[in-house]
Chain A
Amino acid sequence: MTFLSISHLEKSFGANRVVKDFNLPIEKGEFVSLLGPSGCGKTTVLRIVAGFESPSSGSVTIDGQDVTGLRPNDRNIGMVFQAYALFPNLTVAQNVAFGLKVKGVAKAEAEARVAEMLRLIGLPDLGGRYPYQLSGGQQQRVALARALAVRPRVLLLDEPLSALDAKIRVSLRSEIREIQRELGITTVFVTHDQEEALSMSDRVVVMNGGIAEQVGTPFEVYNRPTTRFVATFVGTLNLFEAEADGQGLRIAGVPVRLPEAVEAARGGRLSVALRPESLHLGGGEVTLPATVEAVEFLGSILRLRLRVAGVLVALDTFNRADAPPPALGRAVEVGFSARDLVVLNG
């Protein structure tokens, strides 16, 4: 059952078409991320759902109710902003209670709800503080509590973590996801950080130029990108030029037999892609000669930069204390399985 439905959404600012025929059905309780580069229209879609912008055409439906023409204050949608947007003149508790007061919730009930929310975000004792007395991470958690206190039908978050330090950003990811699961609230999360989108979401919408290029689970989007844009935008990717002949491909002259799962190409030149973790040192189903150009130490992972068939590619391997990385400039072999090849047609 679709709970939040965005259909045939179009938005233009003057002659600038910012959102183009955007469709997205979202299940109740689902966590969906809009992922895309700056200016691709993520915020615009979110603001249309919230009611801050009206679409040029198309509609937004929540729980069967068409809300396209509704004012933002009548939609019962919670929103968290990148800039926190806490009311500076109100304490934390008053901020969280704001929406309840507006709705006329009885005082005792409102107080109980505020306490519950502050417990939920792990700041039960900070109700009396003012926003300027909180760290960025705390402010954003209060903003989340404030949005959730009114029990909104849908929660919208616009890059809520991008103003925070790297460490807090990562820990807040799982905290937000946990709270979202606990409340079972339908959530749309906007980000330009692919790691954020992939790690938090039930489904990811990869956007480019106002279009939803691919919608799928993080697993699908990462492993089976359907367009060149998605393949290059999500994750690191090694691109090879290949030639197709009737049965299979040739990469740098080495024949590759494509399995059924990988769509066979018709013929001529095309691009194929491989994730860094699909490559390994030593021979494999397909083996190519390479030279080591650089080694990056990323903790649990070693990323080798290799030159293969004239192109620089990345290879990820687990860091093992008993297997030091190969020396720079050494000639090695890299292997991969044809199953992991992604043929790019977009």
Chain B
Amino acid sequence: MNRVWSWLALGVGLLYFFLPLLGTLEFSLRKRKGEYSLDAYTAVFADPAFRATLGYSVGMALLTIVFGVLLVVPTAYWVRLKLPRLRPWVEFITLLPLVIPAIVIVFGYIRLYNTSSFLPLTGSASGTNLLLMFGYATLALPYMYRAVDTGLRTIDIGTLTEAAQSLGAGWVTILGRIILPNVLVAVLSGAFLTFAIVIGEFTLAALLNRPAFGPYMQLLGANKAYEPAALAVIAFAITWACMGLIQLVTRFSNHTRVNA
């Protein structure tokens, strides 16, 4: 009897998730009257703005990931190694972006870094890009930090650090050759989440007026009928590809598992 209920619950859950998706997929194929076609997809891929904005967002995502890794890995490592009592506080701070809306962050940025401020980052395109990347890194911080911190928990960083030190290694060597490779799986799952967040992000990019993929989706949605549905399916595909990659990476890097 219990069985039946579990299956029923699972079925309802799946329907709840997949019905809208199926609806969107079905709708995206109906651009041509009377038959299913990929016309909407062809139109999207042919749009130079699609390629430009997607390219921009992918580039920003990669920059954000690099910045995030350089910021989070040493921080999480240092906190675990030397300041374990501060961990709850650091964790709290890294969770703040989940409760502070992006719009608050971006207005704060614009007020702080406008053209008449002490650091006029919004005055140039590259300055604004930098600001946007910091914003993205902030939004991704909760996921990145948690992922890395969990990864660090699986290895004995204290002893590994001391072993490396006794062999003459300094901090850069320890982080680059021991710590980072051992939490690579965790870092990658954080990276893929960051990627998914950046690709779909709207608020920061729109208010900072950068040509990102999020605002492009919004623009298309306001002006076209079938293409937004196609775009939504594409965005889903990208996200799922990221999730699939996380699984793959996790499976293929079993040598990082310690049997201590």
Contact = CB atoms under 8 A, between A and B. Distances in A.
Interface residues of B, number: 25
Contacts of B256: 88-89
B168 A89 contact: no
A82 to B, nearest CB: 9
Interface of B: 155-156, 159-160, 162-170, 173, 177-178, 181-182, 184, 255-260
Given A88-B155, A89-B181, A79 B166 contact: yes
Given A85-B156, A87-B160, A98 B257 contact: no
A346 B218 CA distance: 85
B166 A89 contact: no
A84 B166 contact: no
Which of B159, B168, B178 has the most chain A CB within a 10 Å cutoff? B168
Contacts of B182: 87-89
Nearest to A99: B167
Contacts of A132: 255, 257-259
Contacts of A89: 178, 181-182, 184, 255-256
A78 interface: yes
Counting chain B CB atoms within 10 Å of each CB, the highest count among A76, A87, A146 belongs to A87
Interface in A39-92: 50-52, 71-79, 81, 83-89
A103 to B, nearest CB: 6
- Pairs of residues from A and B, 5 with the lowest C-beta to C-beta distance, nearest first: A99-B167, A79-B166, A89-B181, A85-B163, A85-B159
A341 to B, nearest CB: 46
Contacts of B258: 88, 131-132
A75 B166 CA distance: 8
Contacts of B155: 88
Contacts of A143: 163
Contacts of B163: 79, 81, 85-87, 143, 146
A180 B260 CA distance: 26
A96 to B, nearest CB: 10
B169 A102 contact: yes
A147 interface: yes
A150 interface: yes
A102 B168 contact: yes
Contact of B173 (A77, A78, A84, A102): A102
B165 A73 contact: yes
Given A130-B255, A131-B258, A83 B165 contact: no
Nearest to B173: A102
B170 A73 contact: yes
Contact of A88 (B166, B170, B257): B257
A90 B44 CA distance: 46
Contact of A150 (B159, B162, B168, B170): B168
Contacts of A52: 162, 165
Given A73-B170, A76-B168, A88-B155, A81 B255 contact: no
Contacts of A51: 165
17 contacts: A52-B162, A73-B167, A73-B170, A78-B166, A81-B159, A83-B260, A85-B163, A87-B182, A88-B182, A88-B256, A89-B181, A98-B169, A131-B258, A132-B258, A143-B163, A150-B167, A150-B168
Contacts of A71: 165
Nearest to B178: A87
B169 A79 contact: no
B57 to A, nearest CB: 32
B83 to A, nearest CB: 17
B136 to A, nearest CB: 29
Contacts of B162: 50, 52, 72, 79, 81, 85
Nearest to B167: A99
Contacts of B159: 81, 83, 85
A80 to B, nearest CB: 9
Given A81-B162, A102-B173, A88 B167 contact: no
A146 B169 CA distance: 13
Contacts of A83: 156, 159, 260
Given A50-B162, A87-B164, A146-B167, 15 more contacts: A50-B166, A72-B166, A73-B165, A73-B168, A81-B159, A83-B156, A83-B260, A84-B260, A88-B182, A88-B258, A99-B168, A130-B255, A132-B258, A146-B163, A147-B167
